[in-house]
Structure formats: structure tokens, C-alpha cells
Amino acid sequence: MNWTDERVELLRKLWAEGLSASQIAAQLGGVSRNAVIGKVHRLKLSSRGRAAPAQTRQKKPKPAGTKAQRPAAAPRAMPQTVGATALKVDYEAEPAVRPSARPAENVVVPISRHLKLAELTDKTCKWPNGDPLTEEFHFCGNDSLETGPYCTYHARLAFQPASERRRQR
DNA sequence: CCCTGATTCGC
DNA sequence: GCGAATCAGG
């Protein structure tokens, strides 16, 4: 995989959104999280917004080859773990239940359109399916025009109290 | 041990 | 420029 303009653009977006490097790598596909981090640095996107004090970074003595040590780059700041945690929090806290939950038996589970994060609009259901770190991860993507962030089915899962959900069948 | 980003450096 | 290996740390 090479860094096309589209992929770089998506990288910029997701990085700005606060996704972790590994999650971005999963979304992009075909690259490792190291590749993403490397690219992020080359694009100079490193500090995601906040400029903070200074993180002390130790230099790393290479095992064998004696190479010249650099003066160590300028210390920068980290917004303090927004990455996987951010999306995971969304993933677990926003929807009241996991997509795998079975709320009602007489309700037809919608067939997901399998949209990528970048493909979502304000009219598509943002219910996440699968693990953000896997290739299979996608969003429901069905029409949510009149039901907010979710389609009618997922809106019920997302906004119904646990007690209601329990005796729903 | 899971994860995070940061850095180095051979390619 | 790219990214695996490696690092420090939560």
C-alpha cells in the first residue's frame, strides 16, 4: 500500500478525530500502526492539538552498530491517551448495549451497509459493528435521517433503559 | 500483558 | 519517504 492523497487525507482526519494509530491503521488497511505513526510524524501532525509541558524522552542505544547519536528531537506533548480509549469509550458507553445483544426476538435486525468511519454522513446510522482494530469493523450505515445518529433499530438499543430492554420480548 | 505514541535507522 | 524494531510509559 502506498500513501495516496486520499489515504493521507483520511489519515489526517482520523488522527484529528483522536483515533489511535492502530485504529487508523485498521481503517486504512494494509498498513501497520508503526507505518501510521511514522507517517504522522513525517506529516508533522504529531501533537494532536494541545501543546503541553514537555515529555522527557530517553534516547535509545542501538544494540550492535555504533552509529552517531542524534541530539534528540524537540520534546513535544501528548494529549494523554485519546486513541483507542476514546473510540472504545464511544463504542461501549454510547450505545447502551453491544450490537451482539439480542434485545427483541420479533424485531428484524437490519442488514448493515458496512460503512467505514469516513463514509458516514449525518444521515447514516453510526452504530458500530465489530472490533475497531479489525478489518471487519464497520458501521451500520443504514438510513438514520429521522432517528438521530442511529437507524430506528439501533436507536432503540441505544436509548432504551436497561430495564425496559430487559422485558422487551 | 494489553495498549499508547516516539524514535532510530536500514532500506 | 517508508516502516519494523524498539523504546518509555499508562
pLDDT tens digits for range A81-90:
444 444 433 3
Which bases of strand C sit closer than 7 A to a protein CB? Answer: 1-10
Question: Can you give the pLDDT at residue A60?
Answer: 43
Q: Is residue A65 part of a domain?
A: no
Give me the pLDDT at residue A118, please.
Answer: 57
Query: Residue A132 phi/psi, 5° resolution?
Result: -55, -20
Full residue range of the structural domain in which residue A157 is found: 106-168
**Within a domain: A11:** yes
pLDDT at residue A59 tops 60? no
Query: Looking at residues A29-44, what average pLDDT do you find?
Result: 92
- Structural domains of chain A, count: 2
Residues with CB under 7 A from strand C: A 1-3, 31-32, 34-35, 37-39, 42, 56-58, 60, 63, 81
Q: Look at residue A74 and tell me if it is in a domain.
A: no
A150 found inside a domain = yes
Q: Is A97 exposed, middle or buried (0-12, 13-18, 19+ CB in 10 A)?
A: middle
The three cell numbers of residue A137 are 469493523
- Distance, Å, A142 CA → C5 C1': 42
Question: Cβ contacts of residue A50 below 8 Å, gap of 6+?
Answer: A77, A79
Q: Does A71 fall in a domain?
A: no
Residues A99 and A127: beta-carbon distance below 8 Å: yes
Give the C-alpha separation, A37 to A19, whole Å.
12
Is residue A86 assigned to a domain?
A: no
* Residue A43 exposure: Cα atoms within 13 Å on the Cβ side: 21
> What mean pLDDT value characterizes chain A?
62
